[in-house]
A and B are shown apart, each in its own frame.
Chain A
């Protein structure tokens, strides 16, 4: 992974969030406040502008800038959570101009740790962690096969984790206010996390 690939990944996330904004909003309307698609789209539009206005030598710089922009543009819970995830990942990659799959996997793990620390969610709480946690585990397991293979495995695991949120009762975030009524709906945050890993797999392929 180099700066160009990091940029391609983030651009792919932005495109995916834009085209799936409606889906994210619909999922959020069922158990939240209908703004997940709108907010992430606003954030990643700002990220694209921020990345276009500067040049970056390392993937770490690209991802830290991505995270910082998300924190300052998105608001809500998803701004700090996704922002911290990208910032922690970028910082973990350090100043290397290229990183291998194992180092990138460790970075993804650092991002997950940041999300869990900030949001306090554990697997099974019906949040983005339910897609993020299995994705990182799958990435680490497949890291020996290279970035493309690991990213593919991560995206598939994220999809499975996302689908598994449907029968869960939310214990964190706004959906938790609904109690049992949150059961039967796929979590919007887990869905956007799947988009992020799917974009990584597409960019790395």
Chain B
């Protein structure tokens, strides 16, 4: 598999150097491997930190800036960051009002963020955590590690970031993030696996006429394999899964994210969005806002995810406030 890399071992660090070159408005610390908003820490403002394995760009580094994250800590590809990194990011954005961690629900992420929160607590920083677990492909039972955090993470980070900007308390910021997660449901399908730089090969082989249904964002196989079907059927599968897991009453207002996993052209994402929008309309669900594009990716995986997030007027107002980050910007 051909890739734009120099050395598979240094992909994350060299990509960070590129982010630093492209975005002088951010502070990128190559040593600590963190991306920090240039005006952090701001006195009296809650710091918002997220992070996770690399390979999901623009998540999370692309969402650092006014109105969203104060810092991001990217780990190795598909590997959660280490506690030292998370602690460094937490300290860099602590303006005395506490710090909120947005953590996607994966065993490794949860453990490393917990360790970092403990270390930060020892140093007198009050840390609150929002756990994101919106992927309804995984059953939420004691027999699994619980649902994965995927597309709703972006909405959590935008809404929590907007509230943090107003001077709200850490508890309030975390509660708003948790409310978004509560109302969010995601489901993904893939047409081809992704290639991790260090391995150079695919996580799984998929015949030309088949698709993986219920995949995550780490190249792992999905819940099941099915014959490839037309886009309208795949859209219906995703809408049914999402509404089946978190039913919405007619007239509900939502934010809908039709997200590419990295290797699917925008033309196909728009085609899918059209199908999804029609199906949601038929179900009486109102799409108040939407995003179509590659936001929570899985390297070069060909695939797409649907996130439907129920919102009230307050969450919608927070979604609409100005944001200025590399990957999400409006109102400024």
Binding site for B on A (CB under 8 A): 25, 29, 31-35, 38-39, 42, 71-81, 118-119, 169, 171-174, 176-179, 181
Residue among B81, B111, B216 with the highest chain A CB neighbour number at 10 A: B111
Q: Is the CB of A35 within 8 A of B77?
A: yes
B144 is an interface residue with CB less than 8 A from chain A? yes
Residue among B75, B107, B143 with the highest chain A CB neighbour number at 10 A: B107
Residues of B near A42 (CB, < 8 A) are 76
Q: Is the CB of B203 within 8 A of A77?
A: no
Main secondary structure of the interface of B (DSSP, over half): loop
B106 is an interface residue with CB less than 8 A from chain A? yes
B196 is an interface residue with CB less than 8 A from chain A? yes
Using CB atoms, name the residue of chain B closest to A81.
B111
Binding site for A on B (CB under 8 A): 53, 75-84, 106-108, 111-112, 115, 137-139, 142-145, 148, 196, 198-199, 201, 203-204, 216, 218-221, 223-224
Please measure, in the bound complex, the distance between the C-alpha atom of A37 and the C-alpha atom of B218, giving whole angstroms. Answer: 16
Q: Is the CB of A177 within 8 A of B148?
A: yes
Q: Is the CB of A181 within 8 A of B196?
A: no
Q: Is the CB of A177 within 8 A of B144?
A: yes
Residues of A near B111 (CB, < 8 A) are 77, 80-81, 118-119
Q: How far is the CB of B300 from chain A (nearest CB, A)?
A: 14
Residue among B76, B79, B196 with the highest chain A CB neighbour number at 10 A: B79
Using CB atoms, name the residue of chain A closest to B199.
A34
Residues of A near B198 (CB, < 8 A) are 35, 38
A75/B108 contact (C-beta < 8 A), A39-B79, A176-B143 known:
yes
Residues of B near A32 (CB, < 8 A) are 218, 220
Residue among B138, B204, B218, B220 with the highest chain A CB neighbour number at 10 A: B220
